[in-house]
Chain A
Amino acid sequence: LWVREPAKSPAAARKRYVRFFQLSLSCLTKAIWVFGPGPASQPEDVVALVASDAPIHLRRSNGLGDLFLTPTQLFKIIPDTRFPGEYKARTLAYIYSVHVDSEDAENAELIAWHWHPLTTPDRVEPHMHVQATPPLGLKLHTPSGRVSFEQVVRFLVDDLNVEPRRKDWRTVIDECDQRFRAFRTWG
């Protein structure tokens, strides 16, 4: 069970958002989210999030090779129409890329979840790129629906054998995922 934490100002909503996002990231790594003003072409209230490590090094169990994660996101704070006087974060774009070699990300990407309507106005739907047998490669835009960072964390640990950094990772990621699902406005 989790308790709703009302955000009565845009600053409080931003602080709450990055705090829970950091909790999710802490399931995988000691790296932190670094955030700052978004692109100059976007309104001033847009916030960009990147990881402090580029990329994040992920160790796997059972002798499997290491993986690397490059996550980025844009969001902004909007009034929460469901709770008058409160604010919430709205995601504007995300990229969560998993690859096998930090030195050669161009050819080593295994899977990536993309949603970037601002960068590619002709492709506004969430999709994923999956390493497939040539000639398909990574070029296909496989429809995915909206994917949360929490889902990616769970997939990395449960399916790709990434070693979680904290013992309570499942409790943490479940709570963060429940918060995401409760407050998302689409997807």
Chain B
Amino acid sequence: METYAEPKELSREEFAALLEERVQASLNMSVSEFIAGLEDGRLDPESPRVASLAILVGARAR
């Protein structure tokens, strides 16, 4: 088989920073605002821009 790159493990802080960056870039809000939006029903946990990030932050959507 051909060679391939290795997966990269991030620390809790590094992964949190990556999530913050992606939520900001995709939805123009902070992770805490994102979680609040999921929990109070303002954000649809199944919409294309939200779904992949929602499973990563662990909020229970209303």
| A contacts, CB < 8 Å to B | 18-19, 21-23, 26, 30, 32-42, 48, 50, 52, 54, 70-74, 93-95, 97, 99, 105-109, 112, 114, 116, 118-121, 129, 138, 141, 166-168, 171-172
Contact = CB atoms under 8 A, between A and B. Distances in A.
Q: Which secondary structure dominates chain A's binding surface?
A: mixed
A26 B7 CA distance: 11
A33 B59 contact: no
Contact of B56 (A50, A108, A166, A172): A50
Contacts of A141: 46
A22 B9 CA distance: 12
Contacts, number: 124
Interface in B11-35: 11-12, 14-15, 18, 22, 25-26
Contact of A167 (B2, B12, B59): B2
A31 B34 CA distance: 26
A22 B12 CA distance: 21
17 contacts: A18-B7, A19-B7, A23-B1, A35-B9, A35-B15, A70-B52, A74-B56, A94-B55, A97-B51, A105-B26, A118-B60, A119-B59, A120-B46, A120-B60, A138-B48, A141-B46, A166-B4
Interface of B: 1-2, 4-12, 14-15, 18, 22, 25-26, 38, 45-49, 51-61
Nearest to B54: A119
Given A105-B48, A105-B49, A129-B46, A33 B7 contact: yes
